[in-house]
Structure 1
Amino acid sequence: MDSLESFDIISNEEVEEIKTALEEGDLCKATEKLSQSLKDIENAPLNIAVTGESGSGKSTFVNAIRGLDDDEEEGAAKTGVTETTMEPKAYPHPQCNNVTLWDLPGIGSPTFKPNDYLETVEFDRYDFFIIISSDRFRHNDMELAKAIQSMGKKFYFVRSKVDSDLTASQKRRKMSYNEENILNEIRNNCSTCLQEGGIQNQKVFLLSCLELNKYDFNQMQETLGQELPSHKRHVFMLCLPNISLPVLEKKREALKKQIWKWASLSCAVATVPLPGLSVACDVGILVREMRKYRDAFGLDQKSLEKLANRVDKDVAELKSVIKSPIVVKEINKELVTTLLTRGAAGSLMFIEYLASNIPVVGTMAAGGISFATTYLMLYWFLKDIAEDAVRVLEKSLDSPV
C-alpha cells in the first residue's frame, strides 16, 4: 500500500473542526460536518460555456468532452458547416449529472457587442468560458475575452481543428514537413494575435476534437484542474473522457482524496448506539462509491460497448484484460455485504496504525473497525479498477499508453 502521508488524506483545518466536535462529545456535529463536506463535493454544479465564431467547432468540442464519438448520437449537440446554435443550449454530461456544457451562439456577426452578448447568454450561470477558433483568433474573440475578464470570470482559448492544418501542411510541404514545427507556428501565431489584441500571457490549447487524446488536451485539463476551486476541480476531473494515462491518474487522485471522508462518516455513524445503523451505512457508502468508480473509469457495460465500437473491437476482448472480479459483477448490496464480512477481520490489523497516524480515527476509536473496513475496501477497489482502466485503454490501442 502507498504511504498514507502521500494521500493528502485530510486537511489540518478539517481535522481540527471534526476533532473538536468529537472531543466535545458532539457526534451529530462531527457527522454533520463530514456529510456536508461530502455533499458539497458530490453535488457541486459545474457549468462550462463554449463559444466562438460560427463553424469553429463549438458543438463538436461539446460532444467530444462529453465522451460522444458520433455527432449524430442521441443527445449530441447539433453540428454543421453553418451556425446551428441560435441560443444557449445545455448539454448535461452523460455520467456526471451536475456537469453541464453550454453550446453558446456564434459571435461572428459584424454588429457583435460583447456585453450585450454576455447578458443575452446569462453570463452569471457559467463557471468559466472556452473560446474556440478554427484559425486565428479574431477581434470579436478578444473583445469577448476582455468583457469576461472585466466581470471576474475565467476564460480559455482553444485553437481547434489542428489535425486539418497538419494534413494540409503535409500535402503542401512534402519535403520539409515537421509536425512539431507546424504546431509551434500555429501556437505562436495565436499568441501574437492575442497580444496584438491586448491580451497578454494567455495560454492557447491546440486541439482536435476528432483526436482528443493528441496535442494539448492533457495540458488543458491540467490547467483547468489547477485553477478551478477544489470542489469544482473534483467534479471536472471525473467528467473527463478516459482517453489517456494522465486523465486516468488524475481521476484516481481525485477519488482517492475523498476516501478518508467516507470512511470517517462510516466511523462516526458506528459510534451511534443504534443496532444495524453502521452496517447499513457502510453498505450504502460502498455500493454508491464502487459504482461511481466503475462509471468514472468507463468500465460499466455501456461505456465498454461504446469504446469497443470506437476502436472496432469486440467488447469481450476489452473485458479480457480486466483482472478485478468485482468490476464485471453487478455491484449491489448483496455483493458488498459479502465483501464487508470478509473485510472486517483484515481491518483489525489496520486500526492501530490508523489511530496513530490519523487524529480523527484515534479520537473516534469506537468506530475504528468501521473506518478501517470502509477505507481499505474503497482504497483497494479504486486501485484495482484504476489499473484495469489502464489495461483496457492499452488494449483498445493495442499498445502501452
Structure 2
Amino acid sequence: MYEHPTVPNVKIWDLPGIGSPNFKADKYLKEVKLDTYDFFIILNSERFMQNDVMLAKEIKKKKKNFYFVRSKIDNDIRAEEKKKGFDEQIVLSIIREDCQKNLTELGDPKVFLMSSFDLDKYDFEILQNTLEEELPDHKKSALLQAWPVCSAASLEKKIKFFEGMIWAASLASAGIAVVPVPGLSVACDVGMVLLFLTRCYYAFGLDDGSLSRLSEKVNKPLLEHLAKSKFASAIREKTIARLQVSAILATLSAVEYAASLVPGVGSVAAAGISFGTTYYLLREGLNELANIAQEIRKEAELDTLCIN
C-alpha cells in the first residue's frame, strides 16, 4: 500500500498479478479481499489474458468498477514510428483493438492507452474524467486533488474545485466567529488558510518534486517561478504563519471579539467580519497560486506540446 504523498486519505494498493507463480488464480481471489478497494485498474503492457478477464468478472460480482489500462504505449510508438507510412492514430487503434479481442465476453469494456512518461498524451486524462464521473461524490474531491495536472483543462478543473471550497471554508470561519472566546477565531482561521493553500499548492503541482520532474522533461528551469508568489514561497519554506495573513487575522480577531460582545447583533457582525476576511485571503491566495501554475505551464510550453 502506498499513501499519496500529498493527499494522505488517498491510498493506492499495488496488488500482485493474477496467475503469477506465487498467486495462482484460485488462491488470488481468496487472499486479495476485493471488498477492500474502491475500484481496480487492471494493467498490462501487452494484451489482456484470460486471468485478467476472470479477475474482472469477480470484481463485477462485488459491484466494483474496473478499468483496463494498456501501459508503455510510448515504447510501441517508438518501435513503429521508423516504419514507412507510420500513422500514430492507426497504431493506437490497432493496439486498442488487439487488447479488446480477449475482453469480448465482458461486453465492450474501455481500454485506456497510457504512458507514465507522457501523461499529457494518449488516454490519461480520459481515464481521469471517467473515474471522476463514476466515483461517489464524497470521493471525487480526493481524486481531483491527488491527480497530476496533465493539461490546461485539468488545471482549470482543479481551480474551479477550490473556488467552490472557499465558500465552505468561509462559512465555517463565520460559524466559529460567533463564539466569544478571545483568539479562537483567529487560530482556526490561520489553520484553515494554511490547510487550504497548502492543498492548492500540491494539487497545482507547485511542490519541488513535481516541478523538478517537469523541468527535467522540458529541459527548462521552472522552480524560479515560485519566488514570484509570496504564498508559494511561504508554503515552500514553511513560513506561511509569518505572512501578512497572520497580521491581518490577528488585527481582525480583536475586532471580531469586540463585535461578538455587542448584545443582539454582535454575533452576526463577528460572523460577517470573519467570513469576509477568510474569503478575501483564500481568494487572493488561490488566484496567486493558480496564476503561477498557469505561468509555469506557459513557460514549459506544455499546452503547445499537447496540441502537437
- Identify the residue that residue 177 of structure 1 maps to in structure 2: 86
Give 3-state SS (helix, strand or coil) of 1:234's partner.
Answer: helix
Give the conservation status (yes or no) of the 8 Å contact 1:213–1:244. yes
Partner of residue 287 from structure 2, selected from 353, 378, 383: 383
C-alpha change, 1:131 and 1:111, in structure 2 (3 Å) is: same
Give the conservation status (yes or no) of the 8 Å contact 1:318–1:396. no
Give 3-state SS (helix, strand or coil) of 1:272's partner.
Answer: coil
Partner of residue 230 from structure 2, selected from 322, 325, 349: 325
C-alpha change, 1:284 and 1:253, in structure 2 (3 Å) is: same
Give 3-state SS (helix, strand or coil) of 2:108's partner.
Answer: coil
Give the conservation status (yes or no) of the 8 Å contact 1:115–1:147. no
Q: For residues 82-110 of structure 1, what are the alpha-carbon distances to aligned partners after superposition, in whole Å with 9 as ceiling and x for unaligned?
A: xxxxxxxx122222222222111122448
| Total equivalences in the alignment | 288
Give the conservation status (yes or no) of the 8 Å contact 1:266–1:278. yes
Give the conservation status (yes or no) of the 8 Å contact 1:318–1:395. no
Q: Structure 1 stretch 301-310 or stretch 135-144: which is displaced more? A: 301-310
Give 3-state SS (helix, strand or coil) of 1:257's partner.
Answer: helix
Give the conservation status (yes or no) of the 8 Å contact 2:17–2:23. no
C-alpha distance in 2 between matches for 1:130 and 1:162: 16
Q: Once the 2 structures are TM-superposed, how far is the Cα of residue 364 of structure 1 from its aligned partner?
A: 5.6
Determine whether 1:334 maps to 2:242.
Answer: yes
Determine whether 1:140 maps to 2:72.
Answer: no
Identity of aligned residues (%): 43
- Identify the residue that residue 98 of structure 2 maps to in structure 1: 189
Equivalent residue letter for 1:127: D
Alignment of 1:288-299 (within 5 A): 288-299=195-206
Give the conservation status (yes or no) of the 8 Å contact 2:177–2:274. yes
C-alpha distance in 2 between matches for 1:399 and 1:372: 36
C-alpha distance in 2 between matches for 1:151 and 1:103: 19
Give the conservation status (yes or no) of the 8 Å contact 1:137–1:194. yes
Q: Once the 2 structures are TM-superposed, how far is the Cα of residue 269 of structure 1 from its aligned partner?
A: 0.6
Q: Once the 2 structures are TM-superposed, how far is the Cα of residue 121 of structure 1 from its aligned partner?
A: 1.9
- Identify the residue that residue 207 of structure 2 maps to in structure 1: 300
Q: Once the 2 structures are TM-superposed, how far is the Cα of residue 375 of structure 1 from its aligned partner?
A: 1.6
Q: For residues 361-397 of structure 1, what are the alpha-carbon distances to aligned partners after superposition, in whole Å with 9 as ceiling and x for unaligned?
A: xx96650121122122212321221221122123234
C-alpha distance in 1 between matches for 2:108 and 2:284: 42
Q: Which runs of 5 or more structure 1 residues have no equivalent in the other structure?
A: 1-89, 345-362
Partner of residue 128 from structure 2, selected from 221, 230, 233: 221
C-alpha distance in 2 between matches for 1:111 and 1:305: 38
- Name the TM-score, length of structure 2 as normaliser: 0.83
- Identify the residue that residue 63 of structure 2 maps to in structure 1: 152
Q: For residues 95-149 of structure 1, what are the alpha-carbon distances to aligned partners after superposition, in whole Å with 9 as ceiling and x for unaligned?
A: 2222222111122448976553132122222111100122221111111100110
C-alpha distance in 1 between matches for 2:140 and 2:29: 24
Give the conservation status (yes or no) of the 8 Å contact 1:271–1:367. yes
- Identify the residue that residue 129 of structure 1 maps to in structure 2: 40
Give 3-state SS (helix, strand or coil) of 1:158's partner.
Answer: strand
Give 3-state SS (helix, strand or coil) of 1:129's partner.
Answer: strand
Equivalent residue letter for 2:194: V
Give 3-state SS (helix, strand or coil) of 2:81's partner.
Answer: helix
- Identify the residue that residue 264 of structure 2 maps to in structure 1: none
C-alpha distance in 2 between matches for 1:132 and 1:169: 22
Partner of residue 4 from structure 2, selected from 93, 96, 100: 93
Q: Structure 1 stretch 266-275 or stretch 95-104: which is displaced more? A: 95-104
Equivalent residue letter for 1:218: E
- Name the TM-score, length of structure 1 as normaliser: 0.65
C-alpha distance in 1 between matches for 2:169 and 2:26: 44
C-alpha change, 1:342 and 1:318, in structure 2 (3 Å) is: farther
Q: Which runs of 5 or more structure 2 residues have no equivalent in the other structure?
A: 254-266
C-alpha change, 1:137 and 1:399, in structure 2 (3 Å) is: closer
Give 3-state SS (helix, strand or coil) of 2:13's partner.
Answer: strand
C-alpha distance in 1 between matches for 2:97 and 2:71: 15
